[in-house]
Amino acid sequence: MDPHIHTSGLIRIGVTSRIDLLLRINMEDKLSAKEIASHRSISSCWIVLDGKAYDVTSYLNEHPGGAAILLKQGGTDATNEFRKIHSPDILKYLPKNAYLGTIDAAARAALPKSSAGVESIGEAEEAKELPHISSIVVPNDFEAAAKAVMPLKSWTYIFSSAHDGSALRGNLTSWGAVRFRPRIFHDVTTVDPRSSILGSASAFPFYVSAMGQMGRGHPAGEIGVVRALAKRGVHGLISSETTATMEEIATAFADEKNKKRKETSAGETEQERPEAQLHFQLYVPSDRAIAVQRIQRARATGVFRSVWVTVDTAVLGKRTADRRLQAAEALATSPELSAHAERAGFGLLAHHSNSQLNASLTWDDLKWIKREWGGPVVLKGVQTAEDAARAADLGVDGVLLSNHGGRQMHDAPDALTTLLEIRTYYPSVLDKLEIFLDGGCRDGADVLKAVSLGAKAVGVGRPFFYALSAYGQKGVERCLDIFSDELVTGMQLVGMKNLDEACPERVNASRLLNEIWRPEKSRL
Ligand code: HEM
Ligand SMILES: Cc1cc2nc3c(=O)[nH]c(=O)nc-3n(C[C@H](O)[C@H](O)[C@H](O)COP(=O)(O)O)c2cc1C
């Protein structure tokens, strides 16, 4: 645990003594339901997950989801609530001595089942009816639909951004600052939006961005997303912090792709009808052994075409709305947690514990990451032309210009501006690696702006999470259809028959160009 995070003096949550723990481990087979159920306080909190009992007392204070939500599971079988949010892989972040032992089936059956999970935190603001899916016509419509039916805490997790939201607002408005220059008298009866991403054919030059914990939106979680991707032939970037395990995700994806292949008319090649592909997003944890294991597991699934290393999360950004909710939750749970609420209010707790992230990563770490993966590597979260140029020099296969959806540095540049900066100062980068963009794209036609300026593809995040949360897999499929329909219509309206015709003259980016960084004269 990071010493900066452990703020002594704010709150001391009692820790079961080591001797007591050792005794309990020896008594493993004697852990009774009654005994477990009695540990549900701030001074001793036990939970059962998949038939195994854990003492989470010392972790209450460290849990990035807050102490209150864990405390509510105290003394119960929390498996169901836990699996709505976390994959079992997350248990590696528990202190080693937290494991108490397995419990037998009879004890497990006798335990109270927790129902006080994340759904119980904040009802949807006004419980409205979910609009019929046919009334969802633009990607932004999913946001309101999701808000109507989602618990406030889960909705906030998706919606929230850093500090006062300035980077998120910048992302959203940047796309409108670039205008098309539509050309006339081209036969656009049919247009061809096919592209490729890191050497794999792609039906469209967009993909679904990496988002963690998608089970918080809908029980279908990441499985619903990858099935929808496989059905529609679209690429997706899968987070390393998922609700389902990466093996479950890979199996569902392969299964849906097989079904799709059987339906596809014989004789059509991969180039003619591109299949969906998955890529793996990697948060590099501070423990290298865990990172290596993660890379090896991703490779073993056989479904991931590349690894995208997230580089904009040395530490976690200040997610204001989540922190307010976490503090309110702690205050409402028990007076004992008020000190914890103070801590959450300062924002020391948030989505990731420090062991999940690694503030000491440097360019040198790329060597072992590339070696372990052995395939294409992309840096996710590049925000300056200089860093893009350095990545190109080091032989990285791609950079994703991104400010993490405005969730990290709140006054960070939007991706289009960074792309223009690269075009201005290091144009050769465009020939050396593939450039991807994400952040605030809410219109399929906007994807054409980025492609015209030299990007390979655009990632889209929140609209897909909202779509999943409101309508499950069906919502993700509809969101993919909306994006692809807008893209194709956009190509027709600007007179672009295929993506080879995309070039800088297709857009007027003068307004954003005015805003790009300029070196001070004395530094030239
Ligand atoms: C006991 C083992 C647990 C561990 C090691 C653990 C660990 C973590 C970690 C590392 C995060 C950061 C986000 C992520 O990477 O996914 C997190 C977030 C979260 N956890 Fe847990 N967790 C545990 C149990 C639970 C349980 C039992 C619940 C509730 C049923 C829960 C609810 C949450 C929520 C709601 C968040 C997100 C908070 C937010 O950002 O809004 N966790 N947890
Ligand atoms: C709810 C949510 C969870 C996210 N989780 C991750 C993650 O696990 N890993 C990661 O690299 N980026 C993550 N991101 C950032 C996205 O990959 C992407 O950069 C961003 O969402 C793009 O902006 P947009 O949502 O405006 O389209 C997350 C974003 C959101 C909204």
Please state the ipTM of this predicted complex.
0.92
- 65 C-beta closer than 6 A to ligand 1: yes
Region 4-14: what's the mean pLDDT?
32
Averaged pLDDT of the chain: 88
Separation of first and last alpha carbons in the chain = 43
CA-closest candidate to residue 27, choices 102, 89, 82? 102
pLDDT band for position 23 (50/70/90)? very low
Between 393 and 326, the more confident residue is 393
- 212 C-beta closer than 6 A to ligand 1: yes
Share above pLDDT 70 across residues of the chain, in percent, rounded to a whole number? 87
- pLDDT of 119 > 60? The answer is no
Task: Pick the ligand that lies closest to the CA of residue 354.
Answer: 1
CA–centroid distance, residue 508 to ligand 2 (Å): 28
At 170, give phi and psi (nearest 5°): -60, -40
- Residue 378 has a pLDDT of 98
Ligand 1: which atom is nearest the Cα of residue 94? Answer: 5
CA–centroid distance, residue 180 to ligand 2 (Å): 27
Q: What is the pLDDT of residues 137-196, one digit of tens each?
A: 999 999 999 999 999 989 999 999 999 999 999 999 999 999 999 999 999 999 999 999
Q: Which residues are catalytic?
A: 283, 312, 404
Structural domains in the chain plus CATH codes? 1-117+317-350 (3.10.120.10), 133-308+385-399+409-516 (3.20.20.70)
Q: What is the pLDDT of residues 370-420, one digit of tens each?
A: 999 999 999 999 999 999 999 999 999 999 999 999 999 999 999 999 999
Ligand 2: which atom is nearest the Cα of residue 405? Answer: 23
Measured CA to CA, the distance from residue 411 to residue 74 in angstroms comes to 40
Q: Of 216-230, 309-323, 367-381, give the lowest mean pLDDT range.
A: 309-323
Q: What is the pLDDT of residues 439-454, one digit of tens each?
A: 999 999 999 999 999 9
Say which amino acid occupies 367: K
Region 491-506: what's the mean pLDDT?
98
Task: Pick the ligand that lies closest to the CA of residue 210.
Answer: 2
CA-closest candidate to residue 160, choices 334, 351, 27? 351
Measured CA to CA, the distance from residue 136 to residue 78 in angstroms comes to 36
Residues in contact with 387: Cβ distance below 8 Å, sequence separation at least 6, in sequence order: 379, 399
Measured CA to CA, the distance from residue 121 to residue 117 in angstroms comes to 7
Ligand 1: which atom is nearest the Cα of residue 319? Answer: 40
Tokens 């408005």 correspond to 173
* Cβ neighbours of 469 (radius 10 Å): 25
Beta-ladder partners of 372: none
- Residue 265 has a pLDDT of 67
E strands present in 200-253: 200-202, 206-208, 235-238
